[in-house]
Amino acid sequence: MRHATVLRSGLSALLLVVAWTAVGPASASAAPAPTESAATLPAAPALLSAMRRDLGLTEHQASARLADEKAATALEPEAKRAAGSAFGGSWLDARTGRLTIAVTDSGRVDAVRATGAATRLVEHSAQELDAAKARIDALPAPSGVSSWHVDPATSRVVVNVVASEQRDNDVRAFVAQARRVAPVTVETIAEAPRTFAAGTVGGDPYYTGNVRCSIGFSVYGGFVTAGHCGGTGQSVRGWDGSAIGNFQGSSFPGDDYAWVNVANGWWTVPVVLGWGTVSDQLVRGSNEAPINASICRSGSTTRWHCGRVLAKNETVNYSQGAVYQMTKTSVCAEGGDSGGSFISGDQAQGVTSGGWGNCGGGGETWYQPVNEILNRYGLRLHTA
């Protein structure tokens, strides 16, 4: 296996996995040590171009948004501590570029504002809303109910139903039950969610059985990906059909995450493929981006697309069963993109699970947050 061949093949794994047998790991191309802080590095022109295409921004707006998001991500932990038990959630205000913190106690407003965040008084704390959502999680959901999540801006739990099934008796009964146990708002969605695995296609990233999926992020000893792509113990083949390793852990439904060990002459590097749309992206950490932040996804079928974080801690009702604690985005995806990388700036966010729609007509996609996967399996993210 030769590096040049890997590049020519258009390896559709999201995380660049380099496989050489004749040359040892020391010969792998390493990222040069940065000569200035990440905060001062300008955004790549191709990344700004992708944000213009997918988010409808000018280059100036895209640059300003990236700076605002970086600042909000760094500020959120401090502002949350200032709110204390009155914390009701957070999001990025796209109009002002400021992090907004929801608080239930007016007495905490000044302390939160002193950190630099904006505030909004709300009825329910984040802890109360999470408990309310957990009560809905316990209800059996019909297929016409696609998902539900906490919305900190409205201080309610949003239940999404498939538009064509909103008058279905089972859907109406579920909504009525949900309203009895939680403060609920109902919204419609165009289609039911589905996972994004695909049948085998030659020259793409990795396979298990006859399923093609995308690699997520490098961890020391392997990579993380989606659980629905394979069960524990199943073997994984690379783009060229050679053995990479095996699923060391996998969970789906309930969760949608897994990790695969890397052996047989393969190893991983902290890179997400940009597919020529943007330069390949170095991964420097996994700080969680706020709601409304821009986010990009790399996948073996549709390659590089961007959008916004729409919701966190959403329960997604797939036909195989519910998956919890997912993050919803406006980024499109298609079959074969499952398991691939969601990244915000240089921070790993999660692995692609599923969604609805496609990259021709648009849609929404969910990912499993990467920090949950790392914590579950005791893994350490490979960073530049």
Q: Which residues are part of the catalytic machinery?
A: 228, 256, 338
- For residue 13 the two structure tokens come to 């794994």
Q: Give yes or no for a contact between 46 and 281, defined as CB atoms under 8 angstroms apart.
A: no
* Cis, peptide link before residue 253, omega less than 30° from 0: yes
State the Cα–Cα distance between residues 337 and 226, nearest whole angstrom: 10
**In this structure, what token pair is assigned to residue 296?**
């990009």
The strand ranges marked E within 215-330 are 217-219, 222-225, 235-237, 243-251, 257-261, 266-272, 281-282, 294-299, 303-318, 321-329
Query: What residue spans of 84-231 are helical by DSSP H?
Result: 109-113, 126-137, 169-181
Residues with Cβ within 8 Å of 148's Cβ and at least 6 positions away in sequence, in order, are: 133, 136, 157, 158, 159, 160, 178, 314, 315
User: What spatial distance separates the first Cα and last Cα of the chain, rounded to whole Å?
Assistant: 24
Q: E strands within 152-210?
A: 156-162, 184-189, 194-195, 198-199, 206-208
Q: Which amino acid is at 81?
A: R
For 2, residues 6+ apart whose C-beta sits below 8 A from its C-beta are: 20
